[in-house]
A and B are shown apart, each in its own frame.
Chain A
């Protein structure tokens, strides 16, 4: 209870969170966050290049999607651990920052797009069909994930 009141009044006064306590924790977690987005965005871009028909065109779309899926998930999980932990260092500050709100919105849109449109576009049933609208989905996907990274850089003021 005492902690709850402290959190409301002065979040940095909570002594139990290492990120608010030692200054080296933040750069370490942030660097892991950079490794995480390299894996996540890099893998999604490879899938999108396949959807555009620019790379790996000898492989069925669904195979590329299935093979990359564990690595996309690994990236998402790393980001969903390191991201909220960075946030926990100063939550009341972050929720007020425009850059943070914009990035979270973009992230939500990117994730929803990935698990709806991109999932549909990479379904095995579509492997024999022309790429058509799926090329557009790939372009939107790259755009969304690049803006998520830009939003992250904006939060940190570069």
Chain B
């Protein structure tokens, strides 16, 4: 079954029809999606800015990143579930939307980037935890992370306009 046929099948499922036709689910999931960006996006930004030495310089890196890790995962789960429900409200529409696929591509890149940071340079955080500015390789991943998250918000917002 191709992706096209899968989306066709998906759009006929009771869940998709409910999301599309009932008055409340769609706005509720969209509101959850945008509020989650507002509340949790700042935590991602601050973690990266701390590594770059642009915010919370006197706070250890592991404290800024570690203390908000659980919160960021909660935010990410809300974003993922609400985004999935928004997309499932009209699978054929999103199948045809280039911005939707760009945002999904950026999401994967952001995930890969976070994993490279977490299981690479971040393992040695103890040796640069209290430095106002992290080592160059850590700063590189943090910089890429900020760019990818901005690109994710841009392409996600653009999905609604295309």
Residues on A facing B (Cβ under 8 Å): 27, 30-31, 34-35, 37-39, 41-46, 55-56, 58-59, 63-64, 67-68, 70-71, 145-146, 149-150, 153, 158
Say yes or no: B40 contacts A42, CB within 8 Å: yes
Does B39 sit at the interface, judged by CB under 8 A? yes
Binds A, one of B2-10, B55-63, B135-143: B55-63
Say yes or no: B56 contacts A64, CB within 8 Å: yes
For the residues of B in contact with A, the DSSP-based class is helix
Count of B residues near A, CB < 8 Å?
Answer: 31
Residues on B facing A (Cβ under 8 Å): 27, 30-31, 34-35, 37-43, 45-46, 49, 55-59, 63-64, 67-68, 71, 150, 153-154, 157-158, 161
Residues of A near B59 (CB, < 8 A) are 56, 59, 63-64, 67
CA A154 to CA B117, docked complex, whole Å: 38
For the residues of A in contact with B, the DSSP-based class is helix
CA A98 to CA B45, docked complex, whole Å: 33
Residues of B near A153 (CB, < 8 A) are 30-31, 34
Known: A63-B58, A146-B38. A38 touches B49 (CB 8 A): no
Say how far B150's CB is from chain A's closest CB, in angstroms.
6
